[in-house]
């Protein structure tokens, strides 16, 4: 890589902020070195830097180019703790900053959920742009039910919560990742060649358990939250130096 330091095993993310100019890095280098990050440095991202990242990210595609996204910047630890206790991803409890992405749902194209696609388009851009500033991100959909999120943040009915992005300056290094699927196995021409479908019963079972969990009253859910931590999926790609 020309600007971002890497070796055979690791990407040295913590050096991007000091060593990389966002105006010089190429798209390909940014794309191939970006990794999801759940551990951040103690230094908080300043508002002017966040604003730059958001402004650049708004070059994302949106349905009919309406660009109807809204954002809630969260830096109150009590809010992160509340989201965690209600069932959000466990690492969020140690996160200092996050961005809740909303999008106007008054679309005529409900079948293909324009608001979800447009919001996701912005999030993809945000994560990539933030990376060039030395800012790590994680796309979080492991959140409480949407009606609870609406109540916590006073979100009007015409806006849908799309996802939460935790963010912060990189800390340490992270393992490189491999692309899981060869393009020859996922690219089809004109139609799906193999039309057989597979039912993922394991995920269906997990989905049912999740629905039951969120059906539990909030005050009880908060009491049992920490006991559910051992059963959550863990990620060990980040290494602090």
Helix, strand or coil, per DSSP, at residue 64: helix
Q: Residues 76-120: pLDDT tens digits? A: 999 999 999 998 888 898 899 999 999 999 988 888 999 999 999
pLDDT for position 198: 81
The pLDDT confidence band at residue 228, using thresholds 50, 70 and 90, is confident
Instruction: State the pairing for strand pair 135-140/159-169.
Output: antiparallel
Query: Which CATH number does 10-178+188-239 carry?
Result: 3.40.109.10
Q: What CA–CA distances, in Å, run from 17 to 9, 41, 64, 132, 159?
A: 20, 11, 35, 8, 34
Asked whether 169 and 45 are in contact (CB, 8 A), the reply is yes
Angstrom distance (rounded) from CA 222 to CA 82: 9
Identify the burial level of 73 via C-beta atoms within 10 angstroms of its C-beta, where 0-12 means exposed, 13-18 middle and 19 or more buried.
middle
Q: What is the pLDDT of residues 117-150, one digit of tens each?
A: 999 999 999 999 999 999 999 999 989 999 999 9
What are φ and ψ of residue 170, in 5° steps? -60, 150
User: Is it the case that residue 241 has pLDDT exceeding 50?
Assistant: no
Checking if the pLDDT of 161 tops 50, the result is: yes
Q: Where are the domains of the chain?
A: 10-178+188-239
């Amino acid at each position: 890589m020309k600007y971002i330091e890497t070796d055979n095993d690791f990407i040295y993310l913590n050096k991007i902020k000091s060593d990389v100019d966002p105006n010089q890095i190429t798209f390909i280098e940014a794309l191939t070195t970006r990794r999801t990050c759940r551990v951040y440095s103690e230094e908080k991202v300043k508002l002017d830097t966040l604003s730059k990242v958001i402004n650049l990210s708004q070059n994302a595609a949106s349905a009919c180019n309406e660009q109807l996204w809204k954002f809630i910047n969260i830096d109150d630890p009590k809010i992160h703790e509340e989201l965690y206790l209600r069932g959000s991803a466990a690492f969020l409890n140690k996160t200092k900053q996050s961005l809740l992405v909303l999008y106007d749902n008054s679309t005529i194209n409900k079948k293909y959920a324009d608001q979800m696609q447009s919001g996701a388009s912005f999030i993809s851009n945000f994560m990539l742009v933030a990376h060039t500033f030395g800012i790590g991100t994680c796309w979080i959909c492991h959140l409480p039910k949407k009606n609870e999120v609406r109540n916590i943040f006073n979100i009007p009915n015409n806006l849908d919560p799309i996802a939460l992005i935790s963010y912060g300056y990189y800390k340490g290094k992270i393992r490189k990742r491999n692309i899981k699927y060869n393009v020859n196995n996922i690219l089809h021409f004109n139609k799906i060649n193999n039309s057989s479908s597979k039912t993922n019963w394991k995920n269906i079972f997990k989905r049912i358990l999740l629905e039951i969990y969120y059906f539990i009253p909030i005050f009880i859910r908060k009491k049992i939250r920490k006991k559910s931590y051992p059963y959550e999926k863990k990620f060990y790609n980040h290494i602090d130096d």
